[in-house]
Amino acid sequence: MSKYKLPNKPFEYQNFVNGEYINSLSNETFERKSPAHGNLIGTYQLSNKQDTEHAISVAKKAFKSNAWSEMAGSDREKIIRKAASIIRERAQELALIETLESGKPISQALDEMEWAAGIWEYAATLSRHITGDVNTNVGKDMTAMMQKVPIGVVAMITPWNFPLLIISQKLPIALAAGCTAVIKPSEMTPGTTLLLGGILKEAGLPDGVVNILSGYGDPVGMTLSESNNVDMITFTGSTAVGKHIMRAAATNLKKVELELGGKNPQIIFPDANIDELIDPVVFGIYFNMGECCNSGSRIIIHKDIVDEFIEKLVAHAKKVKVGDPLDTTVKMGAIINDVQYDKIIGYIKSGIKQGATLQLGGTSSKTEKGAFIDPTIFSDVTPEMAIACEEIFGPVLSILTFDTADEALEIANNTEFGLSASVWTKDIDTAMIMTRNIEAGTVWVNNWMSGYPEIPFGGMKQSGIGRELGPRAIDEFMETKSVLIKTGKSSNWV
């Protein structure tokens, strides 16, 4: 029996602006029901264009005051580190909110709080390692300093699938750099991001440095993207909205960082140990109900071992428990909303229609209490099928086969995406050739979805622009200013 319960009444949230929790200017709100239970679990401020412009002006004023950017890195570190410890202390409460809003299993939501706190800790260390460079090699009387300066006001727009984790891949790094921020979480899962405002205030962050608004892409996200007073926008979400944001950002040529979709291949060679890879493959596709940019949704396996693989895979995937995400033994909870449910079911139908073989699942249940889709596996998938090349964002695995390594590579790269990929082989030559040639921001060898704050993450091709995390992530939020200092006597031009 799980100790996690539905709340007796919905949580009520406010926007966080200039260090205070406030209502939207219109006083209007919107609601969220738990996708797994049907109960009303939150009411949030419905922010409009004026709310957004106000929050931007607050962030700009805070940046111009230099109170944050000129604070010693060691002091910024203390505040960011304190925020990490409060996230850890409140992990149970935060995880429950994420499960109620998103339908994800509570055990997984708890893990995410731990990952998020770890990134805040890593970012805290980065704030003490901002250094520029000096060049005394351009002439006797010239000294050049390359200074690192924060970029300014950063807008952050995030999706619903890993709410606190994804904002934690952006915000603490931007804060370490000395930037100020305006944040818009997804309208489906804003709760924990809104609570982050209070956490940062408690940690000692000066008022106005971080401002958080709940609301919809139109108008809040659009106003942020178009604003002349925003210096950079960092967005995680769909490729379609990412393109829209990039166009809108042209207003003032603000810097754009994008973390977008994926259709990530896992190439399995005949020398791989099938018994060792079955569980990571099952995890890679069914983790977060497949609603994951890193979902390992395309298996590209040598045809000699596909039968053995399917038999073992189906047996293992049958053990994945689907159900109430508040049950700590459940591995797959509810699908986020009706639109996503219909989209996934549409892909299952298209797989069947296009001639793929349904090996497992395809089954689902939808009541007023929530929508659940069982682990689904298709074999005999060919590269041109929709289930082979489009991002489904659901628990649907496509299995394709290959004969030669070149063929495997061609299938793997035959997509507009380039987020992540894996190679399963015990042969070092095969592994090296594949990792060099796969078009993806991250390539795993004999594992899936390992990740650390120390290691950069991001996509190639239409999976994104820029990299989050890693020691250079801080550079994404900084400008380089070259200062050239002349000593000695100048020679005349005329």
Q: Which residues are catalytic?
A: 259, 293
Q: Is 313 in the site for ligand NAD (CB under 6 A)?
A: no
**Contacts of ligand NAD in 368-407 (CB under 6 A):** 391, 393
Residue 306 near residue 379, CB atoms below 8 Å: yes
> Rule CB under 6 A: which of 244-263 touch ligand NAD?
244-245, 259-262
Smallest separation, CB 462 to ligand NAD (Å) = 10
With CB under 6 A as the contact rule, the residue among 181, 195, 199, 241 that binds ligand NAD is 241
Among 42, 152, 237, 470, binds ligand NAD (CB under 6 A): 237
**Which residues in the 4-23 window bind ligand NAD by CB under 6 A?**
none
Q: Which is nearer to ligand NAD, 158 or 211 (CB)?
A: 158
The residue within the footprint of ligand NAD, chosen from 36, 83, 97, 157 (CB under 6 A), is 157
Q: Nearest CA to 262 among 284, 305, 295?
A: 295
Q: What share of the chain is helix, strand, coil (3-state, %, to 5)?
A: 40, 25, 40
Which listed range, 27-35, 145-153, 240-248, 320-328, lies at the site for ligand NAD (CB under 6 A)?
Answer: 240-248
Interaction of residue 38 with ligand NAD, rule CB under 6 A = no
- 19 vs 441, which CB is nearer to ligand NAD? 441
Beta bridge partners of 180: 153
- Residues with Cβ within 8 Å of 126's Cβ and at least 6 positions away in sequence, in order, are 173, 176, 177, 471, 473, 474
Cis upstream peptide for 206 (omega within 30°): no
Q: Compare residues 218 and 275 and give the one whose CB is closer to ligand NAD.
A: 218
- Is residue 55 part of the contact set for ligand NAD (CB under 6 A)? no
Residue choice 15, 57, 225, 425 for contact with ligand NAD (CB under 6 A): 225
Instruction: List the one residue from 464, 467, 469, 477 that touches ligand NAD (CB under 6 A).
Output: 464
- What backbone phi and psi angles, to 5 degrees, belong to 299? -90, 130
The neighbour count for residue 251, using CB atoms within 10 Å, is 12
Choose which of 326, 419, 421, 440 interacts with ligand NAD (CB under 6 A).
Answer: 419
Q: Does 159 bind ligand NAD (CB under 6 A)?
A: yes
Number of Cα atoms under 13 Å in the Cβ half of residue 81: 11
Is residue 236 at the binding interface for ligand NAD, with CB under 6 A as the rule? Answer: yes
* Size of the residue set binding ligand NAD (CB under 6 A): 31
115 is an interface residue for ligand NAD by CB under 6 A: no
Part of the chain binding ligand NAD (CB under 6 A), chosen from 29-37, 213-221, 276-284, 427-435? 213-221
Which of residues 99 and 295 has its CB atom nearest to ligand NAD in the complex? Answer: 295
Our finding on whether 168 is near ligand NAD (CB under 6 A) is: no
Chosen residue from 13, 122, 160, 309 binding ligand NAD by CB under 6 A: 160
Nearest distance, CB of residue 272 and ligand NAD, angstroms: 26
> Angle at CA 389, nearest 5°, toward 386 and 395?
80
Residue 288 DSSP symbol = G
The reply to whether 184 sits near ligand NAD by the rule CB under 6 A is yes
Give me the residues paired with residue 103 across strands.
Answer: none
Return the range that interacts with ligand NAD (CB under 6 A); candidates 57-65, 82-90, 183-191, 483-491: 183-191
Contacts with 245 (C-beta within 8 Å, 6 or more apart), sequence order: 157, 221, 225, 233, 235, 256, 258
Under DSSP, the state recorded for 220 is: I
| Segment interacting with ligand NAD (CB under 6 A) among 90-98, 180-188, 202-210, 403-411 | 180-188
- CA dihedral (108, 110, 112, 117) in degrees, to 10, reads -170
Least distance in angstroms from the C-beta of 355 to ligand NAD: 26
| Cross-strand partners of 266 | 299, 422
**Contact, 317 vs 282, CB < 8 A?**
yes
Q: Are 364 and 347 in contact (CB under 8 A)?
A: no
For residue 453, state whether it binds ligand NAD (rule: CB under 6 A): no
Per residue in 179-197, is it b (16+ CB within 10 Å) or e — as a string?
A: bbbbbbbbbbbbbbbbbbb
Residue 380, Cβ density class (10 Å: 0-12 exposed, 13-18 middle, ≥19 buried): middle
Sites of contact with ligand NAD (CB under 6 A): 157-161, 166, 184, 186-187, 216-218, 221-222, 225, 236-238, 241, 244-245, 259-262, 293, 391, 393, 419, 459, 464
